[in-house]
């Protein structure tokens, strides 16, 4: 049964948050704490904020405790800068690092159950790439809540915002940003549960819609991370920054994609191919399994590409093995119980006696909606878009540059969320500012197009073809020929998607309609990732061009890319902020264009 498309109602509010994960709700909490009574609406695509991808973050939150005699902000800033392969913006790195401990206390004081010692002090962990004294020694810098740190943030921010009167609209998606004279004034919303289109007019709009991991075939990301935020911003004619900066973790568990942590290799796990050869000695004769993440990921992909992978018949994914069978029982039981548990639970294998299948897994999108250090969204010409903010994984300020360090992502959520909240408050309280309304121009024709198409094809098959293409051609390895092939394929899949008719034409919880809309977003995001990767003729951080294996100074700048028409991109660039280096204070030389060598 096909319905007519009409807007059921118009809702007005002070602040609209698109995406109710950690970043969005930390921002909302800041606004509601500082100015009680502000009307804040938060949309989320998942059935409830607690189901957000933030809740899946395990490890920890990097934060320098000012009382720590060994650690300093400057060391955290250096690690982040080095890890980013000299592409993080130093003003952002400084601002986040210096605010980090205060934000940990904010969470703890509001009920987050951070792990502690028996004197009541917060426990701290080390993580790869986090050091003291500019790489000299490992830093104990990450506070954590057991193996569910993200859940702790999520529960706390959800509780605080609920306590202070936020309005949640769960299982809804934003379909179009509304603008009046370049000022963002709200968005169109599709409410999946009741199948209604709602217009929300807001004084300020905050994007916190999460990542885009579903672009790739094996991903640690949740099902809803289809890059909707980036697609919406591109649809509005705005730019995205560094879309080609995508992080892969070397060992994802085949099937659910979740991480088989580095610990498996550090306790002596051996990677083996189809012939059971321990192949890492070919790629890193000295370090072998302990080589850095990107090198291990490339070694595994090479094995698979050259036909030495193993095909998992159930998930249709080629993989290599990680062999833990030779490790003594006490290592299995004491040092890797959680990961062993994952293998048992999700693929019914016992690492004590079985080889376990792993493959590099897409993990994080460093690129995103370009903002300044306050989360204010910028145009391709680097002018601020009034009324529009972006924080969290969908945004790029940029704190991570071209490679993110572990434990820096959820730190970014809570700090940038707070900074954006402060800016939003100032913006909506400005009595000289006018807050006009605007009409939607895209949603109706787009959704009607989906409903009118009548070709026989299969959306899930098109989506899986896209994810395979991106994994093979624009994943861990990239070459000009491969990326160009991917771009052609994306165009072809876009054309197929446009013809594909839906078997269910109604609006209420029509999962097929949502899949169709998400597919469009995945196609758009795939296209800008591919175009960004094609243009960046160098290798840097997570972006590896086999045909240009070195980092080149000519590319010391962020990619800005907009797409006025599908497949027709406009490229620009934004200089990397080097204010810490330029300030010429003590140790400034550590913040120059240093080599990323560990």
Partner 1 sequence: MKQTHNITLKIHRYDPEMNRSWVQAYQLEAGRILRFVDVFRKINEEQDPTLAWNSSCEHGQCGTCSVQVNGKPMLACELLVENAVDYFKTATFEIEPLPVAPVVRDLVINFDKAYERVNLVKPYIIHPAPVPDAGQPYAITSNDQDEFLNATRCINCFCCASACISSHKGFLGPNAMLASIVRMMDPREAEKEERENILYSDKGVYRCHSSRACSFVCPKEIDVAHFIALAKEGRFKPES
458 is a site residue for partner 1 (CB under 8 A): yes
224-to-16, 44, 47 alpha-carbon distances in Å: 20, 10, 11
Q: Which stretch binds partner 1 (CB under 8 A): 45-53, 242-250, 372-380, 388-396?
A: 45-53
Q: Which stretch binds partner 1 (CB under 8 A): 102-110, 236-244, 262-270, 448-456?
A: 102-110
**Residue for token pair 């959520």:** 413
Question: What value, to the nearest 5°, has the Cα angle with vertex 321 and ends 319 and 322?
Answer: 130
Binding track, positions 4-43, relative to partner 1; x by CB under 8 A: ----------------------------------------
SS3 382: coil
Of residues 26, 141, 293, 596, which has the active-site annotation?
293
Q: Which helix (H) or strand (E) holds 300?
A: helix 293-305
Q: Which of 34, 48, 282, 568 binds partner 1 (CB under 8 A)?
A: 48
- 595-598 contacts at long range (C-beta below 8 A, 24 or more positions apart): 596/82, 596/83, 596/85, 596/86, 596/403, 596/541, 596/551, 598/129, 598/135, 598/292
Number of residues that bind partner 1 (CB under 8 A): 72
Binding track, positions 350-389, relative to partner 1; x by CB under 8 A: ----------------------------------------
Q: Which stretch binds partner 1 (CB under 8 A): 109-117, 272-280, 360-368, 385-393?
A: 109-117
Q: Which stretch binds partner 1 (CB under 8 A): 83-91, 174-182, 505-513, 526-534?
A: 505-513
Q: Which of 33, 98, 108, 498 binds partner 1 (CB under 8 A)?
A: 108
Nearer to partner 1, 504 or 546 (CB): 504
Burial of 348 by CB count in 10 Å (0-12 exposed, 13-18 middle, 19+ buried)?
exposed
SS3 559: strand
- 459-462 contacts at long range (C-beta below 8 A, 24 or more positions apart): 459/497, 459/500, 459/512, 459/515, 459/516, 459/519, 460/515, 462/493, 462/496, 462/497, 462/500, 462/519
Q: Which of 335, 506, 535, 590 binds partner 1 (CB under 8 A)?
A: 506
Nearest distance, CB of residue 181 and partner 1, angstroms: 36
Q: Which helix (H) or strand (E) holds 156?
A: helix 149-163
280 Cβ neighbours under 8 A, 6+ residues apart: 270, 271, 288, 289, 291, 296, 299
Q: β-strands 317-323, 270-272: how paired?
A: antiparallel
Cα first-last separation, the chain: 60
461 is a site residue for partner 1 (CB under 8 A): yes
511 Cβ neighbours under 8 A, 6+ residues apart: none
Q: Which of 5, 11, 122, 284 binds partner 1 (CB under 8 A)?
A: 122
222 is a site residue for partner 1 (CB under 8 A): yes
Nearer to partner 1, 28 or 241 (CB): 28
438 is a site residue for partner 1 (CB under 8 A): no
Residues 573, 557: contact at Cβ < 8 Å? yes
Q: How far apart are CA 161 and CA 167, in angstroms?
A: 9
Q: Which of 468, 515, 556, 590 binds partner 1 (CB under 8 A)?
A: 515
Q: Which of 37, 69, 307, 313 binds partner 1 (CB under 8 A)?
A: 313
Q: Which of 9, 348, 431, 432 binds partner 1 (CB under 8 A)?
A: 348
455 is a site residue for partner 1 (CB under 8 A): no
Considering only residues 142 to 181 of the shown chain, the ones binding partner 1 according to CB under 8 A are: 146, 148, 151-152, 155-156, 158-160, 162-163, 170-171
- Per the annotation, the verdict on 116 as an active-site residue is no
Catalytic residues: 293
């Amino acid at each position: 049964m096909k319905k007519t498309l009409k807007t059921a109602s118009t809702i007005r509010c002070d602040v609209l948050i698109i995406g109710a994960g950690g970043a969005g709700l930390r921002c909302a909490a800041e606004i509601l704490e500082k100015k009680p009574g502000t009307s804040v609406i938060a949309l989320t695509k998942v059935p409830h904020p607690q189901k957000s991808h933030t809740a899946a973050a395990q490890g920890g939150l990097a934060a320098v405790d000012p009382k720590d005699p060994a650690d300093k902000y400057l060391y955290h800033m250096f690690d982040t800068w080095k890890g980013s392969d000299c592409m993080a913006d130093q003003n952002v790195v400084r601002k986040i690092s210096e605010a980090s401990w205060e934000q940990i206390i904010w969470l703890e004081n509001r009920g987050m159950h951070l792990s502690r010692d028996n004197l009541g002090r917060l426990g701290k962990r080390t993580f790869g790439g986090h050091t003291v004294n500019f790489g000299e020694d490992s830093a104990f810098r990450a506070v954590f809540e057991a193996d569910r740190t993200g859940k702790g943030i999520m529960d706390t921010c959800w509780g605080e915002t609920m306590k202070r009167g936020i309005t949640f609209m769960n299982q809804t998606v934003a379909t179009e940003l509304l603008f009046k004279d370049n000022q963002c004034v709200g968005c169109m919303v599709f409410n999946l549960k009741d199948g209604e289109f709602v217009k929300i007019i807001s004084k300020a709009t905050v994007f916190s819609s999460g990542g885009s991991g579903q672009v790739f075939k094996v991903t640690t990301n949740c099902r809803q991370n289809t890059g909707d935020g980036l697609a919406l911003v591109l649809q509005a004619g705005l730019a995205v920054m560094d879309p080609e900066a995508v992080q892969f973790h070397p060992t994802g568990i085949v099937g659910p994609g979740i991480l088989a942590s580095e610990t498996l290799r550090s306790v002596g796990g051996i990677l083996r191919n189809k012939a059971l050869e321990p192949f890492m000695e070919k790629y890193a004769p000295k370090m072998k399994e302990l080589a850095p993440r990107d090198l291990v990921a490339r070694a595994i992909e090479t094995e698979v590409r050259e036909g030495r992978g193993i095909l998992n018949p159930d998930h249709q994914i080629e993989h290599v093995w990680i062999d833990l069978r030779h490790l003594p029982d006490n290592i299995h039981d004491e040092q890797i119980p959680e990961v062993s548990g994952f293998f048992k639970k999700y693929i019914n294998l016992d690492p004590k006696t079985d080889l376990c299948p792993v493959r590099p897994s897409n993990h994080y999108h460093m690129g995103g909606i370009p903002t300044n250090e306050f989360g204010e969204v910028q145009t391709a010409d680097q002018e601020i878009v009034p009324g529009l903010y972006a924080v969290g994984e969908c945004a790029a300020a940029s704190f991570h540059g071209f490679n993110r360090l572990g434990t820096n992502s959820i730190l970014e959520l809570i700090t940038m969320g707070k900074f954006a909240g402060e800016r939003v408050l100032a913006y909506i309280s400005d009595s000289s500012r006018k807050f006009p309304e605007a009409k939607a121009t895209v949603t109706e024709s787009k959704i009607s197009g989906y409903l009118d198409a009548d070709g026989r094809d299969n959306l899930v098959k098109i989506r899986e073809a896209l994810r395979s293409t991106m994994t093979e051609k624009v994943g861990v390895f990239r070459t000009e020929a491969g990326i160009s092939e991917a771009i052609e394929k994306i165009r072809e899949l876009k054309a197929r998607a446009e013809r594909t008719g839906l078997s269910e034409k109604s609006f209420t919880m029509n999962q097929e309609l949502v899949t169709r809309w998400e597919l469009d977003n995945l196609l758009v995001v795939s296209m800008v990732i591919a175009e960004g990767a094609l243009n960046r003729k160098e290798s840097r951080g997570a972006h590896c061009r086999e045909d240009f294996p070195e980092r080149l100074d000519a590319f010391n700048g962020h990619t800005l890319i907009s797409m006025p028409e599908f497949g027709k991109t406009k490229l620009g660039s934004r200089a990397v902020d080097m204010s810490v280096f330029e300030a010429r204070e003590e140790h400034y030389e550590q913040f120059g264009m240093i080599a990323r060598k560990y």
